[in-house]
Amino acid sequence: MDSANYFREKAARCRLLLALATNPEVKEQLRLWVWEFEDRADSAERRRQRRQRMRAGWRRISQKLGASAT
């Protein structure tokens, strides 16, 4: 499982617990965790997308270098 999905699942779990919680302090903590887990998931997704773009760029460069070497 990638880290973005991991954090999204954690946020979903907190949302479920939030629906069941009755203590205001617990509810506030769960809301905070939902926000933090979603933020971490978004960051992980952006990192993955950057890595994919970088790899694609390196592949293009490698292909161009390989084509010019022949």
The domain containing residue 39 runs over which residues? 3-69
- For 41-68, the DSSP string reads HHHHHHHHHHHHHHHHHHHHHHHHHHHH
Domain count, the chain: 1
* The residue to which tokens 């070497």 are assigned: 69
Model pTM score: 0.75
Give the pLDDT confidence of 15-68 residue by residue, as tens digits.
999 999 999 999 999 999 999 999 999 999 999 999 888 888 888 888 878 876
